[in-house]
Amino acid sequence: MFNPNTTELMHAWGVDLESHIRTLALTHRSWAFEHGTDHNERLEFLGDSVLGFIAADWIFEQFPEDSEGDMSKVKSASVSEKALAIVARELNLGSYIRLGVGEERTGGREKDSILSDTVEALIAATYLQHGMETVRAVVERHIVPIIRKAADLGPALDWRTAFEEKARELGIPHVAELRYEVQGEGPDHARVYTAKLYLAQDFWGEGTGSSQKIAKLAACADAYQRLTSDVGGR
């Protein structure tokens, strides 16, 4: 349900914003098209860049021993749509977004894409009104815990890449021929997918999930665990 009173949101965000830019940051294009107003997509564009810089700068300073690849994985995980949607839900941001009738009916307040875009718009609004040091403090307040969790995940940030790199390191053949076999079972609304990972004809891992992507990642995780525990079944 829409809540026009943003006092609690601003308190949770950590800094207040002037009414006009706050309203713009919280206005989805679906509302704008129905009411003939501006929307927050330009702010999203700017906020994405500001967020990326702040996250990259923090990771660079805090993890001096990490390679470019390691830092890139942590950054990608911590500023992803999924990560920003987590931040949005902690702020109860969905209830403050101005949505059009269609988006409202289809659950727009809970869509990761809308939530993450609105976080980026708020970041841009904060930068424009208060400058870099203030927006840095706000971003670090909300994003640093996610960065730390991402850094702790290690290979889980990208199971496929982790498996491929370890396989090459150990001299496992056919890494360039990695492929999946995926099957789905059950009704469309509750379908479960099973993915099997092969290097050429050699079986290495299996995983299940609610989508093909999740099942493939699970298969990569299984393959990585088999590889590192030296029980790779082929």
Mark whether 57 is an active-site residue: no
Pairing of strands 178-185, 202-209: unpaired
Query: Alpha helix locations (H) across 106-205?
Result: 112-130, 132-153, 159-169
d(CA 25, CA 19): 10
CB atoms closer than 10 angstroms to residue 73: 23
Determine contact, residues 108/1, Cβ cutoff 8 Å: no
Residues 207 and 216 sit within 8 Å (Cβ to Cβ): yes
Q: How far apart are CA 143 and CA 151, in angstroms?
A: 12
Q: Residue 200 in 3-state DSSP? A: coil
**CA–CA gap between residue 212 and residue 217 (Å, rounded):** 9
Active site residue 103: no
* Separation CA 83–CA 140 (nearest Å): 13
- Extract the tokens encoding 113: 């894409």
The active-site residue out of 103, 120, 158, 222 is 120
Residues classed as catalytic = 48, 120
